[in-house]
Amino acid sequence: MLLTIATTVLEADERLLRSIRSIKQTREQEHIISVAGDFRRARALLRTGGPGVRRLIEAPGASISEGFNECIRHSEGDLIWVLNSGDEEMDVEPLLRLLEQLPEIDFAVGAISYGGEVVRPKRNPGNRLSCLLHGMGFCHGAAVVRRAFHNRYGLYDPTYRICMDQDLFIRALWNGARVVTSSSCVARIEPAGNSGNPATRIQDLQRIMARYVPFPFPQLLAAKWRLANHVAEWLGGRH
């Protein structure tokens, strides 16, 4: 089975090279990279990237979600894994084996190393209500999906600034997607960028919940998350 690795960047830099060099070359795969910024600079930098089959796509001004979607549209793989620039593969093979062994499964999720700590998926990430109330408990870098997953459940919604992966996977689970988990650590995820902005994250999550649960539950949960964030910041400031 061919694996497509999808990465999107604004400007190609050493972080992208770090991701490329972490990817194992022991399987049939392609690496598609969408570039929103200087394409010629990216092409020159990629010459030093090492072995592997890579395709660069020009995506001027594209957002993160739009960049992912361009990679998926250009992909030829049976399986698709989104790996952010700066993130590194640890061992995605267990997820590939699960999807090969279980043809009825839509996607597989593993653990990640985030900020030096291992974050494992929930025992039942397919529980739709739990995903809405508490979040998915995994990010796109921890998941490998079949090509048919996007045919059935759509692509990333570019109107979300942070939680585009939560929107996609909750949408899929709400419509019957089947998932399997592995305790293996798939990737080392770099804590960086807008994903650490709690205010924007809460806004995105409230929008997602509003699609599936009635007023006032999204607003009440968003208020709870804001309070929890303020308490965490206050406790952190006391140390």
Helices (H), 108-237: 128-134, 147-153, 164-174, 198-210, 217-237
Q: Mean pLDDT, to the nearest integer, of 103-117?
A: 93
Q: Mean pLDDT, to the nearest integer, of 79-107?
A: 96
| pLDDT above 90 as % of the chain | 57
Task: Provide the residue ranges of all domains of the chain, joining segments of one domain with +.
Answer: 3-196, 197-239
- The tens digit of pLDDT for each residue in 185-226 reads 999 998 765 555 778 878 888 888 888 887 787 788 778 767
What beta strand segments (E) does the chain contain? 3-9, 29-35, 54-58, 79-82, 88-89, 107-114, 117-119, 143-146, 179-189
Per-residue confidence (pLDDT) for residue 132, from 0 to 100: 67
pTM, two decimal places: 0.87
pLDDT at position 100 over 70: yes
- The tens digit of pLDDT for each residue in 24-38 reads 988 899 999 999 999
The second-level CATH assignment, the architecture, of 3-196 is Alpha-Beta Complex (3.90)
- The tens digit of pLDDT for each residue in 154-171 reads 999 999 888 899 899 999
Tell me how far apart the alpha carbons of residues 7 and 117 are, in angstroms, rounded to a whole number.
23
Q: Mean pLDDT, to the nearest integer, of 65-82?
A: 96
pLDDT at position 235 over 70: no
Distances (CA, A) of 223 to 19, 32, 75, 188: 37, 39, 40, 31
* Least confident residue range of 10-14, 146-150, 217-221: 217-221
